[in-house]
Structures are given as C-alpha cells and as structure tokens.
Structure 1
C-alpha cells in the first residue's frame, strides 16, 4: 500500500468513528420530525371536527423540546456513543413511539441517557445510578437529566444465596412481595427515593448496576424489583421491561426466574424485552414462584 492509500485509509477509519454518533443524532431528529408530522395530522383532523386548538398551541406542542435539541447537538459532535447497539436501541424505541409520553425508569446513568430522555419528550424519564460522583459528572454537562444516586445492599457473589433466600422467605413470594421497607426480603430494593415507589412505571430499563466482578452490586435486586412493580401495576396495559447483558449468567438466570420466558417478546443482541401483565391480569398468580 502506497503512502497516499495509507492516508486515505486512516481518514476512512477516522470518519468511521463518527458514524454511530451521527446516526443517533439523526435518529433523534427523525423521531422529532415523525412525531411532529403525526401530531400535526391529528391536530388537523381534530380541528376539522371541532375548533378546539389554536394554531399557536399546535405549533408549540409540535416543537422539539430543549432536551431533544441538546441531544442532537451532543451526539452529532461527540465520538462517545451509547452502550447499546442500534438494533438493541431500536427495540425500546419502538415501544416509546407508542407509549411516550410515559413513565420511563432506567437503572444506570450513562452515555445514552440524553438519548433516552429525548426519545420520551414531555414524559418522565428517571435514572438510578450507584456512583454519586458519576451522577455529578453527568449532570454537570446535562443538568436537565433527572437522576438519583442510590445504594444497593447486594453483591454479585451472593447471587446463588439470594435465590435460595427468596424461595424460603414469604415476603419475597409474588403474592406477598413489596419493596418500600421490605427489609426481610434481601432482593427488595429499599431506601430508594420516594419517586421510585410512588410512580407507576410504564417502561423499565435494567442496564445497571455493575455486575462484572464479585463485589459489584449485580442486577439481581433490580430484576426482582422490576418484576414486583410490574405485577403490582394498577393502570391499564403491561409493563415493558428491558434487560441488557443477558449474555451473562446472573442476568439470564434471574430474568428467567422473575421476568419469565413466557413474557419475553423480543431478543436482539444482548437485550431481552419482556411485556409483564399485572397480577390481576394473570390467569394464575399465586404460590411461591413468579413464573
């Protein structure tokens, strides 16, 4: 390869690193345009039936939110990309297109947080992060994000013992399980912000806490608690739960134990998507097993 070809190849590789961030920025812009078009069409239809909206109000509703504009600029000018692949992101995006604005709970605060918030405009997107210093770092550049630092009381190395504990502790059983103040059930997330317990979450993304070394919190309690919240849902419809890193043993084992294979509706890459009905909508919801 001559010098000219080498230079061209280096330029190609450098340009390639920009492809995904630009694609994410384009994705967000596309969602804004699509949403705006659909809302404009709905507004026109409603106005033809009854003049209930002013044109200025319709324009305001169809405008991009500040967080969406910030996300477009951020991803268009940064080489730092979201942790998930485009295929994995698309699974959640398809649900957000139908459910947004909604209550979206995300375990983990990361490089994709601006994206998730912008894809749920006018909704409530809340992030839970185990590292308080990281929360400060992220919010310094994106203060409009809604995030809480939280503490977990489990460790990855306890995974097997936690499964044994759950099977013998009545306060962990699906018919009895609750979260706030449930100290007896070691898998229940306790001591979290009130918003975590008081909000009925439509979508739950589990992409944290850390689960790749023995002393890490692991995602056991997050998976269990997501299942409990979904089963206790009072509103209509299912709870969408997205679990990342299912190639790891603990994530897969706890997903099959609490989120249930029968509720798994899609699998892309390392992401599983579950649609979990409330206990009231289940044909059978008694006993000591979630599935």
Structure 2
C-alpha cells in the first residue's frame, strides 16, 4: 500500500469523555464571564456600603442635640423591663400610693409613670447619669417629684472586696443602718461609719433622703452590667439602711431589679435577707423589711 494511502486509526471517544469535554468547555466560558464581571460587582458593593456609612454618620452628626444624645445614652444603658415586670412594679406602687417612694436609677420606661401613679405622695430619684436627668426634666411635669444627681465611688469589679469589708465590719455597718442621724455630715463621719465605709461610697446624697420615712425603695440603678460600671453594692446597702430607719409598722418594701446578676443577688442576701423576701416577678425581688428592735445584724444567722 502506498505511503500516501496510509490511514490513521479513528479516535473514538466514550460518552463520559465527551461529557467531561462539554463540562470543561462550559466551565471555561463561565470563568471568562466571572472574571469580566466580578470586579465591577465588587466595586459596586463596596461603593454602596461606603455611601450607607456616610449617610449614617451624617444623620448622627445632624442630630447632635442634647436631647438626641440623651436618648442615645438611655437607649443603650438599660435592658427594658418585660411586661410582667412593669405590671408587677405598677401594681406595687398603686397599692402603696400615695406614699414616699425612693428610686435608685431614672429609667424612661417607667419613671414618669411612677410619679403619676404616686400623685399626692412624694417621689425621689437618685441618678448618676446627667443625660438621663436632663431628658427626664425636659419631658416630665410631675410636681411632687425630685431628682438628685449622686456619684458612686465604686466599680462592679470590686464587689467581692466591698462585700468582704461589710462582713468584717458587720456590727458597725448595722449600727450605721439603724442609728438615725441628726445630719448627713454626722452620719458619714460617725465612729461606726468610719469603720463601715458604705456611706462614703455614694456622694451628694441630700440630707432629706436619710430623714424621710420611706414606704417603698426601688433599686434599679446605677448601671452594673460591666466590670467598670458603678454597680449596685452601695445602693442596695443604703436601701437596707433606709428601710430599717423608716421603722414603718407594716415594714418597708425594697424592690431590687436585675437579680439574675450575681452582685444584685449577693448584696440583697447580705443586707435585705432571704427571710424578708416577700414576692418576686421576672428579675424583680420584693423584700419587706420589718421592725426588729433587738436585732444586731442585718440578717439572722
């Protein structure tokens, strides 16, 4: 056979081989499409995100009024109460009203309503955040309500150290709690108070707070959700002090919020006592502190 007539054998591809070639061809086309279009798509997404961020910054800057700033601070500083907790709080205030109510903390969710329910009574708020005070003053018209700015000389991370100090000076702390002062200055600098440091852990507390016969004390401040927050150690102690000084015939109720947190539990047990726990709802504990003339400690051994 002439060399020019030499025939090469035919190449036969199996169905699998043809399928692989088809898929490979489509993949190459898709990759070319992706490379052409992915860069513009990424540029669009990044540009849109940048525009949104600029709009957000512009909005925040344009609303930098004191009220807007106060709202921002208030919104992020406190977990809102559940409906059952709000109803529990309002029901207790309604049953006591009109009466003398002291509140540690100034929360927009319910503070003005407490003053409204307690119309004819006397309501005092102790707050350390000036933005909250400014916001409340701008929205409330309550005549029988007073707000005082106090300062806490504590941080939540020192809670155990403070509790240890209280236990080591239990007798002096109890004397400070039950001895009604003739003046705030005398109370803070008395012999017992020099050993029990709690009274000096909160400053700017007005004299009348220690002089009024309180029917209900609510502890929902200061902030205590971070190690650097003031914590409610001193607030719970002072609530226990005021409840015992009031010497109400039917006892003084002390309502503590956020008892799911360790500090609120520790200090409530220490100064308000589990034997005085009257009721509870959600994150509220309601203590009723009775008169015990012969007691020498906050809680029975």
Query: C-alpha separation between the residues in 2 aligned to 1:121 and 1:82?
Result: 27
1:24 corresponds to: none
SS of alignment partner, residue 165 of structure 2: helix
Per-residue deviation at 1:219? 0.3
1:141, distance to aligned residue in structure 2 (A): 1.8
Q: Radius of gyration: which is bigger?
A: 2
The CA distance in 2 between the partners of 1:117 and 1:250, in whole Å, is 28
Stretches of 4+ aligned residues off by more than 6 angstroms: none
- Please identify, of 226-235 and 247-256, the stretch whose mean Cα deviation from structure 2 is larger: 226-235
Alignment partner for residue 264 of structure 1, among 244, 252, 277? Answer: 277
Q: CA deviation at 1:134?
A: 2.2
Q: Is residue 286 of structure 1 aligned with residue 284 of structure 2? A: no
Tell me the CA shift for residue 172 of structure 1: 4.0
* Unpaired segments ≥5 residues, structure 1: 1-80
**Superimposed CA distance per residue, residues 162-221 of structure 1 (whole angstroms, 9 cap, x where no aligned partner):** 111112226643244357413542222453112211211100110000101122110001
Distance (whole Å) between structure 2 residues aligned to residue 249 and residue 170 of structure 1: 21
What's the secondary structure of 1:146's corresponding residue? Answer: strand
- Stretches of structure 2 that go unaligned for 5 or more consecutive residues are 1-77
The structure with the greater share of residues assigned to helix is 2
SS of 1:232's equivalent in the other structure is helix
Q: CA deviation at 1:87?
A: 1.6
Q: CA RMSD in A?
A: 2.2
For the pair 1:236 / 2:234, whether they are aligned, the reply is no
**TM-score, scaled to structure 2:** 0.63
Match of 1:136 in 2: 134
Residue correspondence of structure 1 range 1-12 to structure 2 within 5 A = none
Match of 1:168 in 2: 168
1:253-283 Cα distance to aligned partner (Å, 9 max, x none)? 1111111111111111111111111232xxx
Match of 1:20 in 2: none
Which residue is 2:124 aligned to? 126
Number of equivalences: 207
Q: Is 2:221 the counterpart of 1:224?
A: no
Question: 1:90 matched to which residue of 2?
Answer: 87
Tell me how far apart the structure 2 counterparts of residues 149 and 171 of structure 1 sit (CA, whole Å). Answer: 30
Q: How does 1:148-163 map to 2 (within 5 A)?
A: 148-163=148-163
